[in-house]
Structure 1
Amino acid sequence: MRQLTPYIKKDLQKKMVFLGGPRQCGKTTLAKSLLVNSFNGVYLNWDRLSDRKKILTGQWTDQEELLVFDEVHKHKKWKNLVKGFYDTEKEIHRFLITGSARLETYQRGGDSLLGRYHSWRLHPFSLYDLPQGVSRQESLSRLLRVGGFPEVFLDNDEREARRWREERSRRIVREDIRDLEQLQNIDLLELMLDHLRDRVGSTLSISSIAQEVGISPITAKKWINILEKMYLIFTVKGYDKKLTRAVHKPIKVYFYDNAEVRGDESVRFENFVATHLLQRNHFMEDYHGYRMGLFYVKDKNQREVDFLITQENAPQELIEVKLKDETPAKNLISFAEILKTKQATQIVLHSPKSWSKGKFKLTTPLDYFTTLK
């Protein structure tokens, strides 16, 4: 059972539930497990023509308590369609809407569903959310080598993972993005995505990558936004509040699939930490309702800390990522005083133990990424 399952089950008692997340991260499996273990109902996938007809015409019975609509956001007026079903049949049915794009961004049709749904985001397997039968130490190794997507994580075969990843990437770009965004230059979009795999953790110049790919900076910015909406990448901005000599504008790019990242062990580990921090932020937003932020910190003196977590716009925790260095990072301590964060954390991959002193904490990933609550 996935970590979000009981929360989604509870929310279905009150409202519709939107469940977004990367393609093949386990949304369909979670939805079908609810149909097997908790609700009588039906699963309908918009990509299947026979199911599409059933969705458009409302072909289900009153005995089917839970209606799961998968990928229905590909319909031009999907929100009006779902709103109509919910408003007229909410006393009879529960509705779970799943999709491999950010559902809240595809508001075609003009009619709002505000107040009618709760939203959740499912991530691939992580140290927060692991299948039974795999130890945490082994899971850490797999997450760094083959990534957390269920199929490749459970197979644990690097060659098969590379094949799976190539097929998944091409399907998202050439089918999902093409259908939703109607782009013409798919080949150039794939080229830009490939360039981004080499730039994880580095500040990204939009104009520079646009020049390399052969597109305008405006197009590059638009395409990065599309890749974010499709849960392929996410961006981290530089934090400039309360810093008199902050660096403005540059972003950093990370991948939801840790194994997409090119580079040495340190780059892949930084991406691993970024995905876990994002997952925690999403949980805090989706369950607790807090506004969370994920930033990096860098000033004009080139002093930098990898990540800053904010809650309701207030700095909460600074996080530095290291492979082996257990000496407290000077920049981490310095920025913790400037920003007055509650905690300054150094996550070290190859550290024998965790320890803390005052607001400073040195920790291993196994000790730090434990539970979401």
Structure 2
Amino acid sequence: MDRIYTSLVKHHLADYRQMAFIAGPRQVGKTTCSKIIAATSSVHAYLNWDHPAQRKLIIQGADRVAEYCNLMSITKIKPIVVFDEIHKYRKWKLFLKGFFDVYEDRSHVIVTGSTKLDIYRRGGDSLMGRYFLYRMHPLSVAELLTTALRKKEIVAPQAISRHQLNRLITFGGFPEPYTKADPHFSKNWQRLRKQQLLKEDIRELSQVQDISSLEFLMDILIEESGCQLNVANIANHLNVAESTVHRWVKTLQSFYFCYSIKPWFKNIRRAIRKMPKIYLWDWSIITDQGRLNENFVASHLLKAVHYWTDTGLGDYDLYYLRDKEKREVDFFIIKNKKPWMLIEVKKSHHNGISKNLYYYQKELHVPYAFQVAIDMDYIPLDCFSYHKPIIVPAITFLSQLV
């Protein structure tokens, strides 16, 4: 399956000297993407830490890997070298620093990982200035329509069928279950992914010992997707300290099971300041339809925010709004530290528009305020041509993102 990230990393290799880091969840398509890119070069090498012989090569050091990758002789084009899951190596940063510093001018380097490569600390020296990070997300409405690189944040709307939208909502955006669209396969795939996450990734690479309690926490987070994270209540349920819950949630975030969206409180009177809301990378495992719809839109917004930031279009962040009078808006996007967009998610377009959109748009001087309706049919109009709060079809609005 063609992905926008394939085009993105190809562009990176053509224009930049830095290593390209591709980070994202298990089975989101990182390995496939990197192999497709590597195969575009007549000289390339792929090394996976999970492969015993290739792991041995990496442990032997940068020069041995360079010899294996044919970097010791002159070639007309730079070979592409892919290091897959190398973050599992205790000295991975030190290895990459040494390899890049010596062989930067002889190779293009792609590094993939299913933990957060920008924050994951396993010793070694800093890689600052030696890589650009690209955060890979599941499929989205816009990516199903086109995998062309985005030169600007917002594009013209494009039509996608209601069948395709429902398929994406139901089976999620991970390529294999989406492509197969088979409920039985999807359930088995979800179960296997959870087992691999717990018993292979987290057990091997984190300090968590109580895997059964961590699995219970995962079930709680699935049920409470889109809710504020009440650490005290969860700690009571699990019979552990609040600090343990904080640590476990952070671990689940670093392995791409879930992500958090913090409240924005600047320039808001009596704003909620501390409690983040939790969402899942795989929205298809959520059983409550309302929570699933909100998570579906949240994941599209996070993907857009990450893409815009990673490609240098600006600095973007995703928040939610809530004050002590319980005035809440689901999502709030900041662009270059300034308010940019309000998004409220509703299943139906028959309800009136939320008064909170009007309130916060006035309070924070936000250019755009959308109430996104899941059930509304596609309309071929640019949602971003409106600057007052307005109800828009999710199928149109999401097609204009990434």
Using the size of structure 1 for normalisation, the TM-score is 0.95
Partner of 2:69: 60
Moved more, 103-112 or 224-233: 103-112
- CA distance in structure 1 between the partners assigned to 2:338 and 2:213 by the alignment: 39
- CA distance in structure 1 between the partners assigned to 2:400 and 2:6 by the alignment: 14
- CA distance in structure 1 between the partners assigned to 2:312 and 2:370 by the alignment: 23
Identity percentage of aligned residues: 35
Aligned with residue 189 of structure 2, among 164, 176, 193? 164
**What's the CA shift string for 1:155-190, capped at 9, x where partnerless?**
101121011101101111111111111321011111
Q: Post-superposition shift, 1:96?
A: 0.2
Aligned with residue 21 of structure 2, among 18, 33, 46? 18
Partner of 1:294: 318
Moved more, 324-333 or 198-207: 324-333
- CA distance in structure 2 between the partners assigned to 1:48 and 1:179 by the alignment: 16
SS of equivalent to 1:197: helix
**What's the CA shift string for 1:134-162, capped at 9, x where partnerless?**
95433211121111111100110112101
SS of equivalent to 1:163: helix
Using the size of structure 2 for normalisation, the TM-score is 0.88
- CA distance in structure 1 between the partners assigned to 2:7 and 2:318 by the alignment: 26
Residues 1:360 and 2:374 aligned together: no
Moved more, 176-185 or 324-333: 324-333
**What's the CA shift string for 1:4-53, capped at 9, x where partnerless?**
22221121242110000010000011011112234531111101111111
Partner of 2:300: 276
- CA distance in structure 2 between the partners assigned to 1:136 and 1:256 by the alignment: 23
Q: Which amino acid aligns with 1:290?
A: G
Structure 1 contact 145–158 (Cα < 8 Å) conserved: no
Residues 1:6 and 2:7 aligned together: yes
Task: Give the aligned length.
Answer: 371
How do residues 179-258 of structure 1 correspond to structure 2 at under 5 angstroms?
179-258=204-283
Partner of 2:372: 347
Distance 1:131 1:24, change over 3 A: farther
Q: Which amino acid aligns with 1:60?
A: C
- CA distance in structure 1 between the partners assigned to 2:164 and 2:315 by the alignment: 30
SS of equivalent to 2:106: coil
Distance 1:330 1:372, change over 3 A: closer
Distance 1:104 1:358, change over 3 A: closer
Structure 2 contact 376–394 (Cα < 8 Å) conserved: no
- CA distance in structure 1 between the partners assigned to 2:221 and 2:336 by the alignment: 30
**Structure 1 spans left out of the alignment, 5+ residues:** none
Structure 1 contact 54–60 (Cα < 8 Å) conserved: no
- CA distance in structure 2 between the partners assigned to 1:281 and 1:367 by the alignment: 18
How do residues 10-159 of structure 1 correspond to structure 2 at under 5 angstroms?
10-13=11-14, 14-38=17-41, 40-57=43-60, 58=65, 59-62=68-71, 65-130=79-144, 136-159=161-184
Aligned with residue 342 of structure 2, among 312, 315, 318? 318
**What's the CA shift string for 1:37-71, capped at 9, x where partnerless?**
34531111101111111222313212670110011
Distance 1:84 1:331, change over 3 A: same
Structure 2 contact 227–277 (Cα < 8 Å) conserved: yes
Q: Post-superposition shift, 1:115?
A: 0.9
- CA distance in structure 2 between the partners assigned to 1:372 and 1:288 by the alignment: 16
